[in-house]
Amino acid sequence: MKKDKILILIIAFSFFLRLGFIFIIPPWQSADEYAHYWVMDSIAETNTLPIPNEEFFSYEAFQPPLYYSFCAILIKIFQPDDTLPFKINHLPVALIFLRLISVLAGLLIIYFSYKIFLNIPNISETDALIGATFISLIPTFIGTTSTLNNDAFVILFSTISIFYITKNTFNKAEIIKASIWAAIAILTKLNGIVLLTIILFRIIWDERKSIKRILTKSLLAISITSIGIFLILLRNIFQYDEILVTDPGYTKDFTFSIEYVIYAIRNLMWSFWLAFGRFYQITPPAYVYVITIIPFLILAIWGLFKNFRRYNFIFIISLFAITINTIISLYYTLSYPIGASTSWGKNLYPVISLIVILLVISWNYLLKNHSIKITSFAIILMLIGIVWVLFQY
């Protein structure tokens, strides 16, 4: 009962923190915020999906339609504003309303992440609460779940899917539930496709002694998850007369070089932790990451290798998920012209619960009695980062 009250306090604090950011972040000063709104507003006005073109605000129209259609319905039902003009110094009621939708998604992500932690053998409720607190205070995650975007919802649906993937017994019922949420995630944003690979990996890992069971369960997962892919392809064919619809704002030109890969990895790393603004221009100096994030990651990796056998199952699943998600994010970045702002840490957030699991477990069993101290210190650093961000606006 006491643990439940602490979880409620964590979620309540997270809500009020994000509520503050809703009003502090100027309108349209989060990445692609107005472009996301443009799509849902077009759907609300025309009752059809807009066509992506090189017009500045239309470039998000190629995205899967679930989030935009849902918000368009809310706009039509509640009509929080007759118009939503592009004004930097005016925070429209509609934008507040739509940002609150992201806040709700963020609170549910924290809750389901806590439930995921409790799925892990040998994890205490205290560690689960620490993990939930850790997730709730990652500065970039706060920004993502305080502004208008489709990322908050794909992270939510991915987290629910992972909740079923990490169950102790991954039977057909859990496979169906995980796959349904994976399909919903894909219909929200294409990076939800990573969930299918995680589901298949879990099946292969569990049934590695039986090829027949691997094939049967994999076919079940693929059949359900592919519904999301199939609906997107149907949308593309009937709405755009194309099978694949991509971002029209850039001419795709896959570029691979050591320098560009390092650039993409660097951006992915620092923007996972603290990056705000229309172009993620609000970031601390590079040395701040070096003296804070790097030591914590070294400790986590050290703890990972020392305690790998104790948490063999969750370590392997988490490492696979993070690796695949990182590869997808880097490929996405490399497919854009050099310098395009596409390599952002929020692309790793669909597996944020698994990332934090590795951190908490690794610190816990590396430092034993001092694990709470180091996690508490990490949380204090993030709180300092949050306060620092507040003074940048």
User: What is the CA 232 to chain-centroid distance, rounded?
Assistant: 20
Predicted confidence (pLDDT) at residue 352 exceeds the cutoff of 60: yes
What is the average pLDDT across 123-129? 86
Residue 6 CA to residue 19 CA, distance in Å, equals: 20
Q: Is the dihedral of CA 378, 380, 385, 390 positive or negative?
A: positive
State residue 177's pLDDT score.
98
Tell me the pLDDT band of 364, cut-offs 50, 70 and 90: confident
Q: Cα dist. 167→119, 164, 204, 274, 334 in Å?
A: 6, 5, 15, 31, 35
Confidence band for 351, pLDDT divided at 50, 70 and 90? very high
Q: Please, which pLDDT band fits residue 213 given cuts at 50, 70 and 90?
A: very high
Three-state SS sequence of 43-98: HHHHCCCCCCCCCHHHHHHHCCCHHHHHHHHHHHHHCCCCCCCCCCCCCCHHHHHH
- What mean pLDDT is reported for the chain? 88
More confident residue, 127 or 135: 135
Within 13 Å and on the Cβ side, how many CA atoms surround 281?
A: 7
Across the range 221-236, mean pLDDT stands at 94
pLDDT tens for residues 183-205?
Answer: 999 999 999 999 999 999 999 99
Q: In a 10 Å sphere around its CB, with 0-12 CB exposed, 13-18 middle and 19+ buried, how is residue 236 labelled?
A: middle
Does residue 278 carry a pLDDT above 70? yes
Between 176 and 311, where is the model more confident? Answer: 176
pLDDT of residue 101: 96
The per-residue pLDDT for 362 is: 82
Look up residue 141 and give its two tokens: 């995650």
Q: Kindly indicate the confidence band of residue 54, based on its pLDDT and cuts at 50, 70 and 90.
A: low
Q: What is the pLDDT of residues 8-28, one digit of tens each?
A: 999 999 999 999 999 999 988
Query: Within 13 Å of residue 175, how many CA atoms lie on the same side as its CB?
Result: 23
**pLDDT tier for residue 261 given thresholds of 50, 70 and 90:** confident
What the block records as the tokens of 320 is 């696979």
- Give the mean model confidence (pLDDT) for residues 317-335: 89
Tell me 26's DSSP state.
P
Distance CA 296, CA 293 (A): 5
Q: What is the pLDDT of residues 69-78, one digit of tens each?
A: 999 998 888 7
The model's confidence at residue 321, banded by pLDDT at 50, 70 and 90, is very high
Residues 6+ apart with CB under 8 A from 390: 20, 24
Using the predicted structure, report yes or no on whether residue 385 has a pLDDT greater than 90: yes
Phi then psi for 189, rounded to 5 degrees?
-160, 145
Q: What is the largest CA-CA distance in the chain?
A: 62
**CA 96: distance to chain centroid?**
21
Q: What is the pLDDT of residue 87?
A: 52
Span 92-120, pLDDT tens digits? 888 999 999 999 999 999 999 999 999 98
| pLDDT at position 250 over 70 | no
Domain ranges (residues) in the chain: 2-390
The winner for highest mean pLDDT among 40-54, 76-90, 218-232, 291-305 is 218-232
Q: What is the pLDDT of residue 83?
A: 52
The band of 337, judged by pLDDT with boundaries at 50, 70 and 90, is confident
The per-residue pLDDT for 37 is: 92
